[in-house]
Structure 1
Amino acid sequence: MRQKDYFEAYIDGYDKVVVYMSKQSYEGKSARFYLKDSKEQIIELKICSIEDTQNNYRKYILEIEEELTIGEEYYVYHEHARKTIAEYSYIVKTDRFDEEFFYDGNDLGPMYSRRHTSFALWAPTAYRIVLELKRNNGLCETFEMKRGEKGVWRTTVPGDLNGVAYTYHVRVNGRWRETIDPYAICGGANSSVSAICDRESLRFRTYPLPPMHSACDAVIYETSVRDFTIQSGIGVHHPGTFRGFVEENPVTQAMQTGFSYLRSLGITHVQLMPVFDFGSVDEVYPQMFYNWGYDPVHHRCLEGIYSTDILSYSARMREFGHLVEECHKNGIRVNLDVVFNHAYDKENFAFENIVPNYFFLMNEQGDFSNGSWCGNDIDTTRRMSRRYFIDTCVWMTRFYHIDGLRLDLMGILSIDLVNEIYLRCRSINPDFMVYGEGWDMPSFLPQEQRASIRNTGKLPFVAHFSDRFRDVIKGSTSAYEIANKGFCTGAEHLLDIVKNCLCASCVDFGAGQMFANPRNVINYVECHDNHTSWDKMRECCRGEERWIRKRRQEMMIAMVLLAQGIPFLHSGQEFARTKHGIGNSYDQSDAINQIDYLRRNGYQDMVEHTKLLIRIRREHPAFRYSITEDLYQHVSFEEIEGQALIYKVKDGQEEIWSFFHPGATTLYYHLPGNVDILYYNGPSTLTDQQDLEIQPYTTIVCRFR
C-alpha cells in the first residue's frame, strides 16, 4: 500500500523511481531528487512528471540515468535533505527482472549431508542475509551468507545438522526481517522455525494400485484429517491426527469407524482438506481453535496439529507418509487439497520477507489484487513463483507418493501453471489428477490467463467442479436462495437441463456446453463449503417426511455417481450429514464438523445404498466415458409424462437404464425388453422384469438381459 508516509520512494523499473511526498510536508514540493547507495555514491534523478493524487500527495516519476545494481541498498533524498529507502517494488514484475534472476538449479533450501549442510536462498533484492542456527541446547550461531549468481545467497556449515532448527535474517528494502525458509520441508510448531532433516531416513514405501483408464474411473471422497476421527468413543487412540486417520484395531473394525469405515465404502480416492501448514490454529494448543486450514503459511511443511508429536520436526512427516502408505496398501489413492492462491498473512509470509512484492499480484500503482477475498492473491505468472509451486507439487508427488491435487480457487492461478503441474506430476504418476474450483475470480490476472471454467478448453486434462450440476440437481447453495429447489429436491421442470448435467455439461442439448470432455468435470452436490444437502432440504423441502428426504438424498448421490464425469462425495453425505444449519463451518467447533458415527449408525441403510451405487459405477464402464464423442453415440434420454427421467447408457457389452423420479405420483413404464433390477431405492433381487412400477421419489437402475 502506497501513500501512507510523508515521503516514499519505489523502484518500479530499471530506469524508473516513483516518489510520493505528502502535501503536509514541504507542501509536497521538491525541485531535485538524488539516489544514494551504500557506498555513499550519489546519482541525480531526472524529474519526468509531477501530478497530484487524490490522497493529498504529490507524485513524482523520476528517471535513473545510470545502471542500477539490484540488491544494493538505495535511499532517495529530496531537496530538503530528507531521505527514505528506495523500495524495490514494481521492478520485480518486469520481464527483464525475471530473465536476469531466473534460477533453474535444484539446490534451494538446505542440502543435508552428515559432513555439512549447504544453504541456498533466492533473494535477488536482498542487501544482506544472515543464517541463524538454533541448536537444541539453546545456543544460536550466525553465518553471513554470500550473494551469488541469479540472486542466490549461499553458505555451508560443517558438521551433522540433522534436526537443527534455523531461520534467515534478511535485510531488504531498508529493514531486517526474520523468516522461515519457504524451501524447507520440515519445521517447528506454528511456523516459528525451519529445520534440517535427513531425507534419506524418510523414504516411504509404494504399493501397486489398479491402473486408471481415465480420471472418470475415480470416485473421490472428501474429508478432513481432524473431522474423520475426532469423535470420542470410536476406538481411535490418536483422534484427529495422521496416525489416527489410518488407525485400525478390533474396536474400529467392530464399530466400522475411521479407516475401517473408509475402506468399506469402495471409493477410489480420498481427498484430504489442507494438510500443509496453515496459520489459523495454534499447534501447541490444537483444541483451542478449529479451522479447515485454507490459510496457508508454508507449502512444503505439514501442519502440526495432525501430528502426535507437535514439537518434533520430523514426526509429522513420518506420520503423513505412513497415512499415504496405508491408503495405497488398501487400494485408496490420496489427493491433497492445496491452497496456492493466497497467503494467510501477507506481511509475514516467508516470500514477502525475502523478495517483497514478487510473489503477489500487484499493479504498477502498488495496489495488491484481492480476487480471493483474503486480502492478497499469489502471482503465478512470475517465473520463480511458477517454478516454486510446480516444484512443490513435483516434490509432494515424488516424496509422499500422492495421487492428485485439488487446487483451491484455481481461477486465481494461471493456466500455464496448472497445465505444467499436471504434466510434470503425471510424468511421475501416470494416473495423477488435477482439478479445482473454476470460479472467475476478479483478480489482476487477465481473464484469458486464468485457470477458470471459461478457459477450460485451454486446460485439456484438468477438471473443474461443476456448479451447474450442483445447482440443477440439488438447488442453489446461496444463503439467500437456500429455499430454491433442484431437480432431486422437487423442481421437476428442470428435466431438460438435467440431461445436460448427466452428460457432464459436455453436450449442446438441455443447456449450453460448458466443458470439453467428461474428464474435465467434477460432479458434486455437496462439499465442505455451504450447507450440507440434508441441511438445505430442511429449508427447500420443509414439511416433507424424513423418508422422503432420505430418498431425495439418495437420488442426488445416485446422480453424482452415475453421471458422466468424475464423481465427488463429501464425507457424511452418505448418511445425511448435518452441520445443524451452519452453512460455512470453517471455524466452528469439532461438535459441528466431526464425522458423527452415531448418526451414521442411524442411517446405515443410506450408507449401504451408496456403497451399492459406487459398486455399480465401478463395475459398468458405460458410466465412465471420458470423451464427449462417446456421449453422443452411447448416451440418450427419455422423459415419462414430464415428471421422470430415463438416463440410458450402453457400450459394446450391455445397456443400462436409470430412472429418476422426484415427484409424488406413481408412474408406470413398459420396457422394450426384459431387465434385471440392479438398484431400486437400494438393493434389488428383481430379475427378468419388463413392466416397471415407479414409486414416488424413486431411483431405479436396470440392466437389459
Structure 2
Amino acid sequence: MTYRTSVGRRYPGGAHADAEGVNFAVYGRDATAVELLLYERADSTAPFQVVPLDPEINRTYFTWHVYVHDLRPGAHYTWRLNGPDDTAVSGHRFNANKELVDPWARAVTTAVWSRARARDPSERSHHSIRGVVAPCEPYDWEGDRPLNHALEDSVIYELHVGGFTRHPSSGVRHPGTFAGLLEKIPYLQALGVTDVELLPVMAFDEQDVPPAAAARGLRNFWGYSTHSFWSPHPGYCISPQHGTHVREFRDMVKAMHRAGIGVILDVVVNHTAEGGSDGPTINFKGLGNATFYHLDATDRSRYRDYTGCGNTVNCNHPIVVSFLCGCLEYWVRELHVDGFRFDLASVLARGEDGTALAAPPMVWALELSEPLTNTRLIAEAWDAGGLYQVGAFPGVRWAEWNGRYRDLMRRFARGDPGLVGEVATRIAGSSDLYEPNGELPVNSVNFVTCHDGFTLWDLVSYNEKHNEANGDENRDGSNDNVSWNGGIEGDTDDPAILALRRRRAKNFLAVLLLSQGVPMLLAGDEVLRTQHGNNNAYCQDNETSWFDWRLVEKHAGMLRFVRALIGLRRRHRSLRRRRFLTGRPARGASVPDIAWHGERLGEPPWHDGNARVLAFTLAGASDEEAPLHVMLNMSDAPVAMGLPDPAYGRWALVLDTALDPPNDAAPAGAPLGIVRDRYELQARSVAVLEGFGGEAGGPLTGGERAAVLVPPSALAQFGLHAPPPRRKTVQSQGACHYRRPGNPLFYNGTGSVTSAHERRARDGGGVAAVPLGLREGVVDLLERIRVRDQLLEGPARLVAHQEVERLGDHPRVVHDHADDLLGAPHELRRLQLDLG
C-alpha cells in the first residue's frame, strides 16, 4: 500500500499522529535531499514506502516536514539525508548510504540495529535504529503531578532500572523493565527514600562497548550512550515494538508518585552514542554534524572530546539549546518527572569554542524555563576535559554532586589524620563552596558511593580495582579509590575483618545521613551489595551489577540500620536545614545551633594534625525538637567522650555503629539506653545521642523517671538470663498483655495505655513490660509511666550496675529475679522492673 502525502508542518519535531495520519518533521539546515522511509514492523527487511521530500514545499527554514495520510501509530520509520561531505572544511558528514533515527522520536526500536554496519561509511543497509510512531491516545494521570519535594527533605536513591530487578531473585513479572521497578515500590517505601535517581533511561546504544568487551559478549549496561533523547529506552519496555514506551514509563512514574517517591533522571547530554570520527552514524552526524558537536577549529573532521567518549555535544549552539531544553520540558510536562541529574554537566558551560562561559545559555535556559520552575536540576559539576566546577557551577538553583564531600569522607573514614576541620565544613553543608554565591546547604548533594566506582561494601573490602572481567586488562576505571580493605583484599571469612568492614560501612552511612545537604545512596549499599572489586561495571549486565534480592534477608541488620538512620533524619529538622549553621543561638534560643568538640568538650581539634576524633552538638530546629550529640572516632582506639552540660537536657543513645544489630540503631521512640557524663566511643565508630528533658524539650517529658530499656544482646553480657516466662503472656491482634496479680498493665504496642492501668502504674507501682524493637508507641509509654523517687527505694536490688551506669541514672534497679526477664522472641523480649 502507498500512502498519500502532503506538505505537513515544521513543528513539533518528530512523528505526531492524529486522526487523519502522521506529521513528520526533522532538522536538516544544510541538507540538499531528504527521504522518509516507512517500515511495517521493527524487523522488516525493507521499507514499504520511500517518501522523497521536495525542498520547495516540504522545507521551512531549517526543518523538513511531510504529512502521511492514513498512516497509523505503530509504523516504523527512518530518515535519509544527503548534502555536503567536505568534512575537514565544513564539518558536514552527510551520507546518503545511512538511514538515521529521528532524534525527536518519542519511541524507538533496535530490533535490526548493527553498530558495526553503521560505522562503515560505504555500508548501505536497513540495519538502523528506527523511530516508532507512538500512539496518540490520551493518558489518564488520575490527577498526578510532579511531587516537588523540598530538596532539604530528600533522600535520593540512585538505581539502575534494568539491574534493580533483572536478578532471578527479584521475583517480578517483567524483570529489568519499568514495570518490574514498579513492583519494588513497597521496598523503596519501607526503606524511607524520597526520590529515585534513575541511571539513563533515554534510549541508548547497548552495543557501544570496546571491541575487547564486545568479544566477551558484553554490552553497554549503564546507558551513558544516548542516541534518542525523547524516547524511553526500549530495553526497559515490555512491548517496544508496539511503541508503548511512553505509556509504560508513565505507569511507573504514576505509581512512584502515588507512593510519595519522586523520579529523577540521569541525563547524558554531554555526548552521544555516535562516538568520534570512527564511530557510527546514527542521527546527529547525518543531520547536522557541525551544529550538534564541538569540532576542531583547524580540522573539522576531528571532534573535541571533553567527555572521554569520542565526541562532545555543542550544548550552547542555539539549535542545540532549543532541542535539549524542549526535550527536558517534554519529560516534565508530558511524563511528569521530578528532576534531572546532568552527567558531566560542565560540558553545558562550554561555549562553541570550548571555553567555559560565565553565563552559558544552556544552563540559564534550563534555570529560567517556566515548565522546569519546580524541577530539580543536579549537576555533576565537572567534565573529562579538566573543567571542575564543584561550588562554582553557573546558575543559582542548581544542586551539585559534591565530589569534594565524597573524597574527603573516604579519607577521613580510612583513618587519614588532620582532616577534621574540613570534615566539619562538609558535615555542616559545605558553606565554603556555596555560601559565598548566595547558595544553600541543599545545593550540595552528598554521597560516598555512586554507580561510578566501588560499591560501599567494596569500598571497605578492596584497596585496588579488579576490572579484568571488562576485557581491558584492568586498565579501565579509576586507580584512585581512596579505599581500605581492613587487612585482606577482597573476600574473606575472617570474623574480625568482616566485623570491621560492617562497622566502617555503617560509619559511612551514618555520617552521610547526619550531614547537612541532600544525601544520596547507591542502590544495594543498604544490603552490602558487592561487585567483587569492579569499579567500572558499565558493561556488566549480569550478576556483577544486578541487585541480588537474597541480600535483603542475608543483611537484614544492615537494612534495618539504614531504615533507622533515614527515620532519624526525617524526625530531626535540625539535620535538614535550609540555612547554614552559624555556631550562634538561633533567634529566641539560648544555645548555639551547633557546637563543635574534640575528645574534650568545647575543644575542637582544628589545628591538630593528628586528630581523628570529632563531635558536635546540634540544637533542635524548634522548641519541640530534641537536640542531637554526634561523636565520630576514626582512630584505632576507644575514646572516653565528654558530654555537653545539662543545658541540653539528658541524653539517650539512639545509634552506635560499634554495636551489633539490632542494637546499633534505635527505631523511633525506643532509645538504646540513657547516657550520662561520658560515653565510651569505640574505635572506628560513630555514635549519636538524642536529648530529652531540659529546656530543649524532646521525646521524653522533663522530670520523669523512665523505665530503662536494656538491649537483648546486653542480657548475657551482664549475667542476666531470659528463661521461659512463668506468668501468662497473651498475644492478640498485635497487642501485648502482661498480667500480674494486683498490678496489671496493658500496653498495645501503638502508644496507648488504658487510663486505669496508667493510674496504677503511676500511683501504685506495677510492672512495666516494654516490648523492644517496636517502631511505635514505646516513647508514649515512657512518657506516661512516671516513677516517683520514693518508689526507687523498693525491695529491688542492683544486679547490673555497669549496664545501668552506661544507660543512665534513673532508675538504677532491675528486678532481683532472673525469671522476670521474659524469654519471648527478641522482638517481644522485655525487661521487667518491679517498682514496689
TM class, shorter-length: 0.7 to 0.9
Question: Aligned partners of 1:595 and 1:440: how far apart in 2?
Answer: 29
Letter in 1 for 2:312: D
| CA root-mean-square deviation | 2.8
Deviation at 1:319, TM superposition (A): 1.7
Taking the aligned partners of 1:160 and 1:178, their CA distance within structure 2 comes to 20
Q: Once structures 1 and 2 are overlaid, which stretch shifts more, 219-228 or 530-539?
A: 530-539
Give the whole-Å Cα distance in 2 for the aligned partners of 1:421 and 1:656. 39
Q: What is the DSSP-based 3-state SS (H/G/I as helix, E as strand, rest coil) of the residue aligned with 1:201?
A: coil
* 2:34 match: 129
Conserved 8 A contact 2:428-2:581: no
Partners of 1:419 and 1:406 in 2: how far apart? Answer: 16
- 2:58–2:66 contact (8 Å) kept in structure 1: no
Partners of 2:78 and 2:100 within 8 A in 1: yes
Which residue number corresponds to residue 508 of structure 2?
A: 556
Instruction: Indicate conservation of the 8 Å contact 1:526/1:533, yes or no.
Output: yes
Per-residue CA distance 1:99-144 (angstroms, 9 max, x = gap): xxxxx97522223211132222221111121222223596224242
**Which residue identity is paired with 2:598?**
E
Q: Secondary structure at the match of 2:266?
A: strand
Q: Choose which of 162, 166, 169 in structure 1 pairs with 2:77.
A: 166
**In 2, are the aligned partners of 1:236 and 1:244 still within 8 Å (CA)?**
yes
CA distance in 1, matches of 2:109, 2:554: 42
Is residue 381 of structure 1 aligned with residue 350 of structure 2?
no
Among 229, 236, 258, the alignment partner of 2:172 is 236
SS at match of 1:184: coil
Residues 649, 199 of structure 1: alpha-carbon distance in 2 compared, 3 angstrom cutoff = farther
Q: Residue type of the partner of 2:423?
A: V
| TM-score (structure 2 length as normaliser) | 0.64
Q: Closer, same or farther in 2 for the Cα pair 1:437/1:161, shift >3 Å?
A: same
Structure-2 residue corresponding to 1:662 = 634
Q: Residue 672 of structure 1 contacts residue 690 of structure 1 at CA under 8 Å; is this kept in 2? A: no
Partner SS state of residue 366, structure 2: helix
Instruction: Report the CA distance between 1:281 and its aligned residue.
Output: 4.0
Q: For the pair shown, which has the larger CA radius of gyration, 1 or 2?
A: 2
Closer, same or farther in 2 for the Cα pair 1:344/1:429, shift >3 Å?
A: closer
Is the Cα–Cα contact under 8 Å of residues 10 and 65 in structure 2 kept in the other structure? no
CA distance in 1, matches of 2:240, 2:16: 24
Cα distance in 1, alignment partners of residues 220 and 303 from structure 2: 29
| Paired positions, count | 565
1:204-252 CA deviation, whole Å, 9 max, x = no partner? 444367663x4222100001111111111332121111111112xxxxx
Listed as ranges, the matches of 1:384-533 within 5 Å are: 384-414=319-349, 415-424=360-369, 427-428=370-371, 431-442=374-385, 452-453=389-390, 455-456=392-393, 458-474=394-410, 486-507=411-432, 516-533=439-456
Query: Displacement of 1:293 after TM fit?
Result: 0.8
Query: Of the candidates 324, 328, 343, which is equivalent to residue 272 of structure 2?
Result: 343
**Do the aligned residues in 2 keep the contact of 1:269 with 1:332 (CA within 8 Å)?**
yes
Q: 2:537 aligns with which of 585, 588, 596?
A: 585
Write the distance in 1 (CA, Å) between the matches of 2:15 and 2:164. 34
Q: Which moved further from structure 2: 348-357 or 539-548? A: 539-548
* C-alpha contact 1:203 1:399 (8 A) present in aligned 2: no
Which AA in structure 1 matches 2:652?
D
Conserved 8 A contact 1:281-1:291:
no
Q: TM-score, normalised by structure 1?
A: 0.75
The one-letter amino acid paired with 1:164 is A
**Per-residue Cα deviation, 1:581-605 (whole angstroms, up to 9, x for no partner):** 1111111241100112223322211
Indicate the SS of the match to 2:203.
Answer: coil
How far did residue 389 of structure 1 move?
0.5
> Which of 262, 287, 304 is the equivalent residue of 1:369?
304
Name whichever of 363-372 and 129-138 sits farther off.
Answer: 129-138
User: For 1:105 and 1:162, how far apart are their aligned partners in 2?
Assistant: 19
Q: What secondary structure, in the 3-state scheme, does the structure 2 residue paired with 1:222 have? A: strand
Q: Secondary structure at the match of 1:582?
A: coil
User: Where does residue 671 of structure 1 map in the other structure?
Assistant: 644
Match of 2:100 in 1: 179
Contact 2:10 2:64 in 1 (8 A): no
Query: Structure 2 CA distance, aligned partners of 1:267 and 1:226?
Result: 19
1:292 paired residue among 222, 227, 247:
222
8 Å CA contact 1:396, 1:402 repeated in 2: yes
Of residues 174, 193, 206 in structure 2, which corresponds to 1:267? 193
Change (3 A) 1:210 1:291: closer
Matched residue type, 1:268: T
1:335-358, CA deviations, whole angstroms, 9 ceiling, x for partnerless residues? 111110111114513122112211
In 1, Cα distance between equivalents of 2:67 and 2:419: 66
2:62 to 132, 140, 151: 151
Consecutive unaligned residues in structure 1, runs of 5 or more: 1-103, 248-257, 475-485
Deviations along 1:368-395, one digit per CA (max 9) or x if unpaired, are 2101011110001110101101111000
In the alignment, the residues of structure 1 paired with residue 595 and residue 295 of structure 2 have an alpha-carbon distance, to the nearest angstrom, of 49
How many Å separate the matches in 2 of 1:658 and 1:667? 14
Structure number with the higher strand fraction is: 1
Once residues 486 and 343 of structure 2 are traced to their aligned partners in structure 1, the CA distance between those partners, rounded to angstroms, is 33
Counterpart CA distance in 2 for 1:422 and 1:155 is: 34
Q: Which AA in structure 2 matches 1:672?
A: D
Structure 1 residues 200 and 311, CA, compared in 2 at 3 Å: closer, same or farther? Answer: closer
Distance 1:678 1:515, change over 3 A: farther
- Shift of the 211–350 alpha-carbon distance from structure 1 to 2, 3 Å rule, reads closer
Residue type matched to 1:383 in 2?
P
Query: Which of 686, 689, 696 is residue 683 of structure 2 equivalent to?
Result: 696
Distance 2:172 2:316 in 1: 44
CA contact (8 A) 1:215 1:431 kept: no
Task: Write the distance in 1 (CA, Å) between the matches of 2:541 and 2:284.
Answer: 32
Contact 1:532 1:579 in 2 (8 A): yes
Q: Which one-letter code corresponds to 2:305 in the other structure?
A: N
Distance 1:278 1:209, change over 3 A: closer
Worse overlay, 606-615 or 536-545: 536-545
Structure 1 stretch displaced more, 428-437 or 560-569? 428-437
Q: Deviations over 1:84-107 (max 9, x none)?
A: xxxxxxxxxxxxxxxxxxxx9752
Unaligned runs of 5+ in 2: 1-8, 86-94, 114-127, 209-216, 350-359, 464-483, 488-495, 587-592, 601-610, 658-663, 693-836
- Looking at structure 2, the residues matched to 586 and 598 of structure 1 have their Cα atoms a distance apart, in angstroms, of 23
SS for the counterpart of 2:295 is coil
Q: Partner residue of 1:254?
A: none
Distance 1:430 1:355 in 2: 30
Contact (CA 8 Å) 2:399, 2:444: kept in 1 or not?
yes
Instruction: Kindly provide the amino acid, as one letter, of the partner of residue 343 in structure 1.
Output: T
Specify whether residues 289 and 376 from structure 1 end up closer, same or farther in structure 2 by C-alpha distance, changes over 3 A only: closer
Task: State the Cα distance separating 1:513 from its structure 2 match.
Answer: 7.7
Greater Cα offset, 171-180 or 680-689: 680-689
Could you tell me how far apart the structure 2 residues matched to 1:461 and 1:527 are? 22
Question: 1:545 is paired with a residue of what secondary structure?
Answer: helix
In structure 2, relative to structure 1, the CA distance for the partners of 1:420 and 1:625 (3 Å cut) is: farther
**Residue 613 of structure 2: aligned partner:** 644
